[in-house]
Amino acid sequence: MKTFMTKELSNYLTKIDEVLKRLEIKIERYEMLNPKISAVNVGWHIEHSLMVFDEYIDFLTNSNPKNYKGKFNFIKLIVLATKFIPRKYGKSPKNMLPKDVIQIDKNRLITHLAETKQKIKKLETLPKDKYVDHPVFGQLTLMQTIDYTVTHTKHHLKIINDIESK
């Protein structure tokens, strides 16, 4: 089993670090809400983004490469190629949604961010044949998963920016 710490992975880890730093800056405004933009506050978007990182790292870690069946998926191709997720078209699985908005506070977000940063270190040692089952895209390889997770986080950062600016 070969690990996958290549220049490409190193570049993606840098991108993850960049989006996590951007999320960290937004923690100060976790209570901000603008119902015209989103039904939930900034903290919810941060928590959800961190949950996606956590869940996908767990899925990657526990996946069995023998079960991977790469299939063409047009939506996956478009999202990964354009690095764009349109608003209000997707629906996250329940396990990726923060359960109690009332429980989201600054300290919780700071703690969760630190936990997620620790989990991300696992990506450096995962074999390249690990994968994730995505509810819309089907199976995503390790690199596709990392790429999608960065795109997903940027999608929520755009929503946060709109909440803050309007």
pTM of the model: 0.91
pLDDT digits (tens, 9 = 90+) for 126-141: 998 999 999 999 999 9
Superfamily covering domain 7-165? dinb family like domain (1.20.120.450)
Contacts of residue 61, defined as CB under 8 A and 6 or more positions apart, other chains included, come to 122, 126, 130
Q: How far apart are CA 105 and CA 81, in angstroms?
A: 35
Residue 9: predicted pLDDT: 85
Q: Which amino acid is at 98?
A: P
Note the residue count of the chain.
166
Token pair in block for residue 69: 């069946």
User: pLDDT tens per residue, the chain (166 residues)?
Assistant: 555 568 888 898 999 999 999 999 999 999 999 999 999 999 999 999 999 999 999 999 999 999 999 899 999 999 999 999 998 777 777 777 777 766 799 999 999 999 999 999 999 999 989 999 999 999 999 999 999 999 999 999 999 999 999 7
